[in-house]
């Protein structure tokens, strides 16, 4: 009875940070900033909202911008295929996930746990 979880029909759930990275990759490959935005940490989303507000103010109300319009998904390989994905490390509120694609392609994602949800860390526009 103790080994029943090893039966072929049973599959262990993947760690939550891995699931978050899978969702992020799918959102990025869709090239839809609206899908990517909720997967980012709150601080970065707030910076994007502030930038959107400033951009709207600069055009004198002729246009209204939102946070998703403040970044562009560039250099995205929409054909990137995940060959292997693994949780490299996980602490209380941070995790690192490694994704291997075809050939020698490797991407490493750092995540932060906010309000029970894993979010993918990206460089802030201010840090560039």
Say if 5 falls within a structural domain.
no
Say if 94 falls within a structural domain.
yes
Q: Please count the structural domains in the chain.
A: 1
Say if 75 falls within a structural domain.
yes
Say if 1 falls within a structural domain.
no
Residue 42 sits in a domain whose CATH number is: 3.10.450
Residue 95 and residue 87 in contact, taking contact as beta carbons nearer than 8 Å: yes
57 versus 97: which is more confidently predicted?
A: 97
Cβ neighbours for 103, distance < 8 A, ≥ 6 positions apart: none
Residue 20 belongs to what domain range?
A: 14-127
74-116 pLDDT, tens digit per residue, is 566 767 788 999 999 999 999 999 999 988 889 999 999 999 9
Per cent of the chain over pLDDT 70 is 73
CA distances from 116 to 20, 27, 45 (A): 12, 20, 17
Say if 8 falls within a structural domain.
no
């Amino acid at each position: 009875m103790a080994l029943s979880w090893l039966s072929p029909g049973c599959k262990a759930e993947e760690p939550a940070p891995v699931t978050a990275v899978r969702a992020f990759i799918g959102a990025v490959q869709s090239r839809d900033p609206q899908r990517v935005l909720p997967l980012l940490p709150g601080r970065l989303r707030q910076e994007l909202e502030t930038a959107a507000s400033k951009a709207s103010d600069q055009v004198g109300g002729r246009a209204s911008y939102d946070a998703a319009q403040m970044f562009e998904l560039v250099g995205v390989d929409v054909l990137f295929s995940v060959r292997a994905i693994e949780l490299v490390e996980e602490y209380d509120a941070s995790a690192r996930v490694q994704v291997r694609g075809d050939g020698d392609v490797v991407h490493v994602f750092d995540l932060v746990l906010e309000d029970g949800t894993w979010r993918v860390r990206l460089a802030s526009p201010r840090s560039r």
